[in-house]
Amino acid sequence: MSGAAPGRERIVVGVSGGVDSSVAALLLRDAGFDVTGVFMQNWADDGSGDCRAEDDRRDAVAVCGTLGLPIRFRDFSREYRDGVFRNFLAEYAAGRTPNPDVLCNREIKFKHFLDAARELGAEAIGTGHYARIDRVDGRYRLLRAKDRGKDQSYFLHQLGQAQLAVTRFPLGELAKGEVRRIAAAHGLQTAGKKDSTGICFIGERDFRDFLSRYLPAKPGEIRTPDGQRVGEHPGVFYFTLGQREGLNIGGVRGRAQAPWFVVGKDIGRNILYVDQGHDSPWLQSHTLRSEAAHWVAGQPPASRFRCTAQTRYRQPDEACDVEVLDDGSLAVRFERAQRAVTPGQSLVLYDGDACLGGAIILSTDAPVAGQSIPGDNAA
Distance CA(250)–CA(270), nearest Å, equals 20
What does the pLDDT look like over 286-323, one tens digit per residue? 999 999 999 999 999 999 999 999 999 999 999 999 99
Q: How far apart are the first and last CA of the chain?
A: 67
Over residues 200-210, mean pLDDT = 74
**Cut 0.85: pTM above it:** yes
What pLDDT, on a 0 to 100 scale, did the predictor assign at position 305? Answer: 98
CATH topology of domain 217-278: SH3 type barrels. (2.30.30)
3-state secondary structure of 119: helix
User: Are the CB atoms for 319 and 311 separated by under 8 Å?
Assistant: no
What pLDDT, on a 0 to 100 scale, did the predictor assign at position 200? Answer: 65
User: Are the CB atoms for 337 and 297 separated by under 8 Å?
Assistant: no
CATH topology of domain 10-185: Rossmann fold (3.40.50)
Q: Indicate whether 201 pLDDT > 80.
A: no
Q: Which residues contact 272 (CB under 8 A, 6 or more apart)?
A: 220, 221, 222, 223, 233, 236, 239, 262, 264, 265, 266
Average pLDDT score, the chain: 91
The CATH number of 283-364 is which of 2.40.30.10, 1.20.1260.10, 3.40.225.10, 2.40.128.20?
2.40.30.10
- Domain ranges in the chain are 10-185, 217-278, 283-364
What pLDDT, on a 0 to 100 scale, did the predictor assign at position 86? Answer: 95
Q: How far is CA 95 from the centre of its chain?
A: 18
What pLDDT, on a 0 to 100 scale, did the predictor assign at position 348? Answer: 98
Q: How far is CA 220 from the centre of its chain?
A: 30
What does the pLDDT look like over 20-49, one tens digit per residue? 999 999 999 999 999 999 999 988 765 555
Q: Which residue numbers are catalytic?
A: 104, 200
